[in-house]
Amino acid sequence: MTAVAPDAAGLRRRARELLAAHPPATTDRLAFLQARFDAGLAWVHFPEGLGGLGAPRTLQAVVDAELEAADAPDNDPRRIGIGLGMAAPTLLRHGTDEQKRRFLRPLWTGQEVWCQLFSEPGAGSDLAALGTRAVRDGEDWIVDGQKVWTSSAHLARWAILLARTDPALPKHQGITYFLCDMTDPGVEVRPLRQLTGEAEFNEVFLTGVRIPDAHRIGEAGDGWRVARTTLMNERVSIGGMRLPREGGMIGPVARTWRERPGLRTHDLHQRLLTLWVEAEVARLTGERLRQQLAAGQPGPEGSGMKLAFAGLNQRISGLEVELRGEEGLLYDDWTMRRPELVDFTGRDAGYRYLRAKGNSIEGGTSEILLNIVAERVLGLPAEPRTDKDVAWKDLAR
């Protein structure tokens, strides 16, 4: 007999039972998070035993509100965003039962940080052209190659990895999806210094890295289909994050406008109003997108949201610099730091302006996302792709 998923009242009761058994004030943070996962209150829409209860996704807010009111610790979601937003949905949809049991709990509690080994120096926007090779050797795969723009690789224990396993097939075929232990021999992480002076990104070199076949996700050669699940969820996690009104980049600009009337001009006022409205439209669209996600898997809507997010952040940060005049050009933190988090709102205007330039590259370039929206949302004809049916080994590189 199939168990009935709890409703809002049932979830509130379960949350209160968790708090009674593990009072946040006296319970170790990790122990509380593990107990929350085991109670099915981590992702309520996940299956029982995997951090959930099979409840509607929309009811997660009920649990979160109960625990937040009790000052219970969260799992620091910004720090482990790649694991939560990309690895977990992929494991849930394509992983084996053993893989789900092994990886989802420490992923959600933050004990194991994840990164994404997808992009390469010669395969960024055209991800399917990747050249990192994985060759079968008994029960292992031996991987050699280079990845780039890898957020949090210097912090990560695990990585989701795409590698080419059959170069005789066209580029979208012959790709396999793996889980890579970042502590294994042959994995080398090097920092990439950015425009901001920091190094939150990395390049990763893989030299003779052995990955057990048990850490393959999906069938060999079916990695592109698995990766599409990751990519769609990535764009939702970047462009569809939940924000309050005046959350995100528009907040600091609006506060500056109210607190410093001497900076105002009619032109800046009109531009700020336009951007404020666009930010609010994007926020409400994100709420609608999350409601749609409650009924199924993410689709091309996430690409549209991420596209809007990138352009909006860049225009808002540009207006903020212009609004502040000479002061807006100051950037007093030009250091080679290795941050755990990207903090847009807790820094100065100069940092926001510089860092926002990366928004149109990370998580799918704006040009690629425009193609996705054009083809999959608007139904426009696809661009000609002459290399689609050519063996990868025969492509010019």
Buried b / exposed e over 149-164, threshold 16 CB at 10 Å, is: bbbbbbbbebbbbbbb
Asked if residues 140 and 164 have their Cβ atoms less than 8 Å apart, the reply is no
CB atoms within 10 A of CB 147: 27
Asked if residues 174 and 165 have their Cβ atoms less than 8 Å apart, the reply is yes
Measured in degrees and rounded to the nearest 5, phi and psi for residue 163 equal -145, 155
For residue 281, which of 269, 271, 270, 273 has the smallest C-alpha distance?
273
Q: Is 378 exposed, middle or buried (0-12, 13-18, 19+ CB in 10 A)?
A: exposed
How far from 155 is each of 97, 132, 150, 289, CA to CA, in Å?
26, 22, 11, 31
Residue 217 forms beta bridges with which residues? 177
SS3 of residue 278 by DSSP: helix
Would you give the DSSP letter of residue 136?
E
For residue 97, which of 232, 214, 220, 225 has the smallest C-alpha distance?
214
Which region, left, alpha or beta, applies to residue 343 given φ > 0 means left and ψ of -120 to 50 means alpha?
beta
Pairing type for strands 175-181 and 158-164 reads antiparallel
Q: CA-based diameter of the chain, in Å?
A: 71
State the virtual CA torsion across 261, 262, 263, 268 in degrees, nearest 10. 60
Q: Active-site residue numbers?
A: 234
CB atoms within 10 A of CB 326: 7
Residue with tokens 């404020």: 276
How far from 189 is each of 202, 206, 350, 355, CA to CA, in Å?
6, 9, 28, 22
